[in-house]
């Protein structure tokens, strides 16, 4: 087995012994969400099994931003991590080996998949960590999508208007179904790559595979390039629309019910007793994995207009999506406002952004509020953009149309010691 698997990551962290322990076997409704929420509060992974499932479930692996930096191999260096993720936008060549190595069991029974009902009003049982891979005209795409199993046994895939959505629509216009390969239980770096949004034609998993030094393999039926995985589902996205939702989004609120394409499963290939990662909707891991590629794009955009960007943090309370704090070094007093506009350009869903100086920790809400309290005047330092395209995840937006606010909480150039925070020599607090 190569070093590009979920198991190798768990082994590196010293967690693989969990498979051999007596793990709790829990009902698929709600109890898993309780266990994951408790683990995220402790910032430690949790392992358990689901009824009638041959896999070991792991959750809460990536609950702190520094774990993301380490995952990408940058050991606590946010700028290096941003640059690495930004490089995912470039097309690179990749090779595909033969079939996935090892013995795989085969099933037509979708009930063995790790379906979970997380919240009280969920529309069905969900897969939340599924990467869907499809290729059209030798251009391949990998992206994370929620998949819902209804009470009637039908399966719906939520497609937002990005690459997979347009690939499916093109197939539907021709009267065809879109062949897809769905992988679960992959190295977490593949999850980060699949959450990115590079230009069409850039295969996201080629980048994560290169960083990991692993290989891509040919999926059993559709011959799509897939990484090593605990589960491979071969199937078709069809033009038939069925109900999907409600589902809890990154904001911790219910996304509305929609009609989404139906997924038809042809075959399931899996390794018994292997690990499968589950993401709690609206949890820490959800916001970090979804938001981090956008932190990288904000960093890249702001870096074009100011001398130096130190750190970007999409805030946990905003689902790691709607609010950002960006620390910069200024050359001119207008740099803060330029940084605001560049941040909005770097992440179109961004609703509020606060620009701070390099002496402010973007992950510390106390320090950020202190900067706003001491370095910001609303009549001079506030930027308001009305009727801008934002995010449909914001329930207060009008179908995604929103008002955006930027706060320049940086001190004036040569502002003097009145803007400095007092410190005690020899004391690190």
Strand partners, 350: none
Q: Is 359 a catalytic residue?
A: no
Q: Provide the angle, in degrees to the nearest 10, between the axes of the packed helices 284-303 and 335-346.
A: 130
Q: Would you state the pLDDT for residue 70?
A: 87
- Number of structural domains the chain divides into: 2
Domain identity same for 323 and 214 = no
**73 in helix, strand or coil?**
coil
DSSP three-state, residue 345: helix
Give the tens place of pLDDT for each residue, 154-163: 999 999 989 9
Residue 102: per-residue pLDDT: 84
Contact present, 279 and 239 (Cβ < 8 Å): no
d(CA 341, CA 337): 7
- In a shared domain, residues 10 and 91: yes
How high is the pLDDT of residue 429? 58
**Is position 425 within any domain?**
no
Positions of the chain with pLDDT lower than 70, given as ranges: 1-3, 18-21, 428-429
- To 10 degrees, what angle do helices 188-195 and 204-212 make? 150
Query: Based on the domain organization, do 189 and 119 belong to the same domain?
Result: yes
**Confidence (pLDDT) at 388:** 95
First to last CA, the chain: 46
DSSP 25-55: EE-SBSHHHHHHHHHHHHT--EEEEETT-SS
pLDDT for residue 26 = 95
- pTM for the whole structure: 0.91
Q: Are residues 121 and 247 in the same domain?
A: yes
CATH code for position 410: 3.40.1670.10
Determine, yes or no, domain membership for 288: no
272 and 343 both lie in a single domain: no
d(CA 316, CA 351): 14
Query: The domain containing residue 345 runs over which residues?
Result: 304-415
Residue 195 and residue 62 in one domain: yes
d(CA 49, CA 170): 39
Chain-centre distance for alpha carbon 142: 12
Question: Does residue 338 sit in the same domain as residue 271?
Answer: no
What are the helix (H) ranges across 196-273?
204-212
Looking at residue 428, its pLDDT comes to 63
Q: Give how far the C-alpha of residue 60 lies from the chain's centroid of Cα atoms, to the nearest Å.
A: 13
What pLDDT, on the 0 to 100 scale, is given for residue 292?
92
Do both 237 and 314 map to the same domain? no
Pairing of strands 216-218, 96-99: parallel
User: Measured between alpha carbons, how far is 1 from 274 in angstroms, rounded to an integer?
Assistant: 13
- Half-sphere exposure (CA, 13 Å, Cβ side) for 63? 20
Instruction: Count H helices and E strands in the chain, helices first.
Output: 11, 23
Residue 372: C-alpha distances to residues 331, 335, 405, 410, 411 (Å): 20, 16, 13, 8, 10
* 201 and 310 in a common domain: no
In a domain, 51, yes or no: yes
Q: Quick one: pLDDT at residue 1?
A: 38
Render the burial of 378-404: b for 16+ CB within 10 Å, e for the rest.
eeebebeeeebebbbbbeebeeeebeb
Is residue 372 domain-resident?
A: yes
Please pick, among 122, 249, 255, 381, the residue that the annotation labels catalytic: 249
170 touches 136 (CB < 8 A)? yes
Q: Answer yes or no: is 427 within a domain.
A: no
Say if residue 187 is in the same domain as residue 275: yes
Question: What CATH number is attached to the domain comprising 47?
Answer: 2.30.110.10
Q: Check whether residue 273 and residue 317 sit in a common domain.
A: no
Residue 292 lies in a domain: no
Q: Which long-range contacts (CB under 8 A, 24 or more apart) does 410-418 make?
A: 410/328, 410/330, 410/335, 410/336, 410/355, 410/356, 410/357, 410/371, 410/375, 411/357, 411/375, 412/333, 413/330, 413/331, 413/332, 413/333
Whole-number pLDDT of residue 20: 61
Under the phi-then-psi rule, with left for phi > 0, alpha for psi from -120 to 50, and beta for the rest, what region is 100? beta
Q: Could you give the CA distance from residue 292 to residue 192 in angstroms, rounded to a whole number?
A: 8
Note whether residue 47 is domain-resident.
Answer: yes
Mark whether 192 and 225 lie in a shared domain: yes
Q: Is residue 332 part of a domain?
A: yes
Total residue count of the chain as it appears in this document = 429
pLDDT at 131: 98
């Amino acid at each position: 087995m190569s070093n590009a698997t979920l198991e190798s990551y768990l082994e590196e962290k010293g967690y693989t012994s969990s498979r051999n322990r007596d793990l709790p076997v829990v009902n698929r409704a709600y109890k898993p969400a309780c266990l994951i929420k408790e683990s995220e509060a402790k910032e430690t992974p949790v392992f358990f099994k689901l009824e009638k499932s041959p896999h070991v479930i792991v959750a809460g692996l990536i609950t702190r931003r520094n774990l993301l930096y380490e995952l990408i191999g940058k050991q606590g260096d946010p700028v290096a991590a941003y640059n690495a993720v930004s490089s995912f936008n470039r097309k690179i060549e990749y090779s595909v080996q033969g079939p996935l190595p090892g013995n795989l069991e085969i099933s037509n029974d979708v009930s063995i998949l790790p379906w979970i009902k997380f919240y009280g009003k969920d529309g069905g049982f969900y897969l939340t960590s599924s990467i869907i891979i499809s290729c059209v005209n030798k251009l391949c795409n990998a992206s994370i999508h929620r998949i819902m199993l209804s009470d009637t046994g039908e399966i719906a895939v939520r497609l937002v208007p990005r690459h997979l959505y347009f690939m499916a629509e093109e197939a539907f216009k021709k009267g065809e179904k879109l062949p897809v390969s769905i992988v679960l239980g992959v190295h977490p770096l593949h999850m980060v790559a699949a959450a990115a949004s590079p230009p069409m034609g850039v295969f996201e998993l080629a980048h994560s595979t290169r960083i990991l030094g692993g290989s891509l393999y040919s999926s059993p039926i559709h011959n799509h390039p897939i990484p090593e995985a605990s589960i491979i589902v071969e199937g078709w996205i069809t033009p038939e629309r069925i109900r999907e939702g409600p589902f809890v989004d990154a904001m911790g609120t219910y996304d509305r019910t929609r009609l989404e394409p139906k997924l038809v499963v042809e075959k399931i290939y899996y390794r018994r007793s292997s690990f499968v990662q589950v993401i709690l909707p609206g949890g820490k891991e959800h916001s970090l994995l979804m938001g981090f590629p956008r932190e990288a794009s904000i960093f890249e955009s702001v870096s074009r207009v100011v001398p130096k960007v130190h750190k970007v943090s999409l805030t946990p309370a905003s689902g790691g999506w709607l609010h950002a704090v960006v620390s910069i070094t200024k050359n001119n007093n207008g740099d803060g406002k330029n940084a605001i506009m560049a941040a909005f350009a770097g992440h179109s869903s961004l609703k509020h952004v606060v620009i701070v100086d390099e002496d402010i920790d973007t992950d510390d809400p106390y320090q950020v509020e202190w900067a706003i309290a001491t370095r910001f005047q609303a009549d001079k330092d506030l930027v308001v953009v009305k009727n801008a395209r934002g995010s449909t995840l914001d329930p207060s937006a009008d179908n995604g149309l929103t008002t955006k606010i930027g706060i320049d909480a940086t001190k004036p150039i040569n502002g003097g010691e009145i803007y400095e925070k007092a410190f005690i020599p020899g004391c690190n607090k």
